[in-house]
Structure 1
Amino acid sequence: MDAIEKLLSAITTVEEARSVPLSASCVVHRGELLEILNEVKAALPRDLESAQDLLASRDAIIEDGQASAEQLIAHAREEVSRMVEQTAIVSAAREESSRILDEATLASEAQREDVDAYIDSRLATLEVILNKTLDAINRGRERLAGASDKDVLSQLRD
């Protein structure tokens, strides 16, 4: 039993002791009560030592808890900082990709306009050539229609 239980036992012994008539006193077996009090006396240093150990461990537990909490807070701050940095990086990357897409769109539009102009130029040249060819064909047909068959044959020999 620890000291508190022994003290409770001593109190119970006194409470259950036979009372002296017309007095607040009681008759207690001296040996029994002294034995209980000596056990309290012997148990008290052990209990105090246990209490001191418990207080010391409590302080260590509190210190460990505080250190753990500080470490958790530091980790959370690092995580928040990392997340903010990633958000900034992602935002910058999105802006950069938007800028690159805009530049690519403008470049492709400029190239399309250049290609369209080149094709139009080539088609205009082809149109001129085809018109000249058509004129030559028409002149040839007119000559054929106006010339006699001999003239045509004589021109073929030349």
Structure 2
Amino acid sequence: MNGHTDQPSELFTQQTFDELIHYASTHRLSRVSFWSINRDRPCPSDRQHGWTASFCSCVQQKPYDFSRILSKFQSKIPTTTTTTATTQQTNHQHSTTHRPYNNDIDCSKIPGGYGIFPCKNDQHHFIECSNGIEYILSCPVNTKFDPKSLTCVWE
């Protein structure tokens, strides 16, 4: 949560957020988000700082400082790594050497730019559209994507 959180001792400043984005980039994370964009603005001058609010960050900032920092983040989705997981029940392989693709989905044309969709011919991945951008995500080991519930379920 950007700014003051629901714990009085927790403060997440722009510098902290910048450090988080740097950490995510250097550790090759694929996605970063924060709670919540309606808090990504300064509080009115008559609002006392130091405690959480649902409509402002409760820290000194310009509008959308945290969003600007987040926009620097570049996803580090690997393109040539193959991982294999073995359990007592099954051998299950997830490969990121291919990008499963659903030709019917164009995230830039989805109303609101958000949705979750199955990948054609690949039940272990799914497509998430967020802000009109396509993300190919993997289900955890021993799970598959269920198009009815739009979640990964046990095989």
The TM-score normalised by the length of structure 1 is 0.17
More helix by share: 1
Larger radius of gyration: 1
More strand by share: 2
